[in-house]
C-alpha cells in the first residue's frame, strides 16, 4: 500500500497552493516515468482567499465580471489545467487536493471521482444533510427543499496525468455564497449553490468537518495516512 502524507496548508493563496501541487505531482510523475515505484502520495487541505478558477474546457463568458470589479471584491482569477468550468474558492470552504497514484489503487478516473463524492456525501450525512449525486453533473448536490432543481454544495474538478491526480474538491462549509453571484457556477445557469452553514442555519466548526471528511476519505480509498 502506498503511504499517504496528509498536509493541511491552512489559508494559502491559490498560486502558492497550485505551485506546491505541481511540485508534488511532478515528483510522482518523474518516479513513474523512471520506472521506480511510487511509495508515497499526498492529500492536501487548504482554504483560499477569494479566487475564481476556470478549467481548461471552461467558457470565459461564465465569468460575469472583469478585472476592475475583481479588485473591488478583493478576488483573483486563474485559468488552470483541470477539467470542468468555472468555480469559486474562498474562506470557510474546505479545498482538498489529492495527489494520488490511481494506478497503485487500481481505480479509474470515474471511480476516483465517485469515491471523493462518497466521502463528501457521508460527511454531510453526519450533519443530517441529505446529499447525493446529480445525473450528468460531477460533484455533490442537494435536491430537496429548494426552489431550484438542485443546488451544489461541493464542486469537483481534477486533472490526471499517467494516472497521477491533482486538483480536487471544494466543500462549502461557512462559505460566503455571494461570491457565486458573479459567475455561472460550473457553467450552469439553472442551478444554485449552498453551504453547510446555509442548510443548518448556523456557523459550522470547520475543523470538525475536516476531521470527519478525512476519516471518510481514508475509508473510501483504504488509505494509510501519516
Give the catalytic positions in this structure. Answer: 186
Between 184 and 106, residue with greater pLDDT: 106
- Whether residue 220 has pLDDT greater than 90: yes
pLDDT of res. 187: 47
List the one residue out of 107, 112, 161, 172 whose CA is nearest residue 138: 112
pLDDT digits (tens, 9 = 90+) for 93-132: 999 999 999 999 999 999 999 999 999 999 999 999 999 9
CA distance 91 to 45: 13
CA distance 105 to 114: 14
CA distance 179 to 181: 5
pLDDT digits (tens, 9 = 90+) for 19-77: 999 999 999 999 988 988 888 999 999 999 999 998 877 667 767 677 788 888 888 98
> ∠ at Cα 93 (17, 54), nearest 5°?
60
CA dist list (Å): 77 to 4, 70, 169:
30, 8, 18
CA distance 107 to 101: 9
Global pTM value = 0.92
Burial of residue 136 (CB within 10 Å: 0-12, 13-18, 19+) is exposed
φ, ψ for residue 17, nearest 5 deg: -65, -40
List the one residue out of 100, 50, 138 whose CA is nearest residue 220: 100
Least confident of 133-137, 148-152, 193-197, 222-226: 148-152
Domains within the chain, CATH numbers bracketed: 3-225 (3.30.930.10)
Q: Using an 8 Å Cβ cutoff, are 41 and 5 in contact?
A: yes
CA distance 170 to 155: 5
Amino acid at each position: 500500500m502506498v503511504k499517504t502524507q496528509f498536509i493541511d496548508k491552512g489559508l494559502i493563496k491559490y498560486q502558492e497552493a497550485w505551485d506546491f501541487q505541481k511540485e508534488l505531482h511532478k515528483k510522482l510523475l518523474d518516479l513513474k516515468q523512471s520506472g521506480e515505484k511510487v511509495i508515497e502520495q499526498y492529500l492536501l487541505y487548504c482554504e483560499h482567499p477569494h479566487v475564481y478558477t476556470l478549467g481548461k474546457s471552461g467558457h470565459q463568458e461564465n465569468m460575469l465580471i472583469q478585472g476592475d470589479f475583481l479588485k473591488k471584491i478583493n478576488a483573483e482569477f486563474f485559468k488552470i489545467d483541470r477539467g470542468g468550468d468555472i468555480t469559486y474558492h474562498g474562506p470557510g470552504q474546505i479545498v482538498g487536493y489529492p495527489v494520488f497514484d490511481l494506478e497503485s489503487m487500481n481505480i479509474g478516473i470515474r471511480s476516483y471521482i465517485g469515491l471523493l463524492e462518497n466521502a463528501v456525501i457521508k460527511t454531510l450525512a453526519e450533519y443530517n444533510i441529505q446529499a447525493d449525486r446529480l445525473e450528468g453533473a460531477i460533484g455533490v448536490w442537494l435536491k430537496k427543499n429548494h426552489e431550484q432543481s438542485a443546488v451544489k454544495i461541493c464542486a469537483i474538478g481534477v486533472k490526471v496525468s499517467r494516472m497521477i491526480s491533482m486538483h480536487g474538491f471544494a466543500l462549502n462549509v461557512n462559505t460566503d455564497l455571494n461570491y457565486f453571484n458573479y459567475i455561472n457556477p460550473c457553467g450552469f445557469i439553472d442551478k444554485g449553490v449552498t453551504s453547510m452553514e446555509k442548510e443548518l442555519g448556523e456557523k459550522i466548526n470547520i475543523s470538525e468537518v475536516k476531521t470527519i471528511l478525512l476519516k471518510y476519505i481514508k475509508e473510501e480509498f483504504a488509505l494509510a495516512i501519516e
